Amino acid sequence: MAQSDEALEGVTAVREAIARGRSRFLSLARAWAGADIDAEEALHAAFEKALSSADRLRDPASAEAWVGRVVRNTVVDALRRRRSVVAGVDPVEIADPIERTSNCECVLHEARHLKPEYAAILERVVVEGVSVGEVASELGLTANNASVRLHRAREALRRRVVAHCGTESATGCGECLCETRGCCAA
């Protein structure tokens, strides 16, 4: 089959999957979005994305599952944007327990006790300011895998800091519940 025939087959398969599964996709979008975003709007955006890249679909038989992933990813992206707008900050700041201006030695101490791959990616991205893409290349990872690792590292650090200090704030030594604030300076 020629490349254009394969592309046309992918577009046709995606259109059919959207037509067959619209109500199911809408139900999923509503379940994932909750009351935070307009599920209809997110679904429409997802369908536009799916149709615009349908020519790259390799297996038309998997079109419905592929469209479902596009819907899920679009809803997740919309939720992230919504939360960052509501909070008035960059989404990275919301998820990042380390801040460059941090004076909290507890955060630095707890970061040293993470799994080595988590500590390394936090050091490179958060402390040194290297892009996730560059770190991914250095570590031989995909950018997506590196982003997931960074997210998991931040979550692990957040849990450790909460367990140790009772605060999620990297600059919250004033709120720290340790016996002596900044107790891990040594």
pLDDT in tens, 76-100: 877 777 765 544 444 443 334 444 3
Of 136, 109, 114, 115, the residue nearest 124 (C-alpha) = 136
Query: Could you tell me if residue 179 is inside a domain?
Result: no
Kindly state the average pLDDT of the residues 13-39: 84
pLDDT for res 186: 40
- What's the domain count of the chain? 2
Domain that holds residue 51: 3-87
Query: Could you tell me if residue 77 is inside a domain?
Result: yes
Kindly report the pTM of this predicted structure: 0.45
Query: Could you tell me if residue 18 is inside a domain?
Result: yes
User: Please, what is the average pLDDT of the chain?
Assistant: 74
Same domain assignment for residues 13 and 31: yes
Reported as a pLDDT band with limits 50, 70 and 90, residue 120 is confident
Query: Could you tell me if residue 116 is inside a domain?
Result: yes
Query: Could you tell me if residue 47 is inside a domain?
Result: yes
Residue 136 has pLDDT above 70, yes or no: yes
More confident residue, 107 or 68: 68
Same domain assignment for residues 111 and 158: yes
pLDDT for res 176: 55
Query: Could you tell me if residue 111 is inside a domain?
Result: yes
Same domain assignment for residues 121 and 54: no
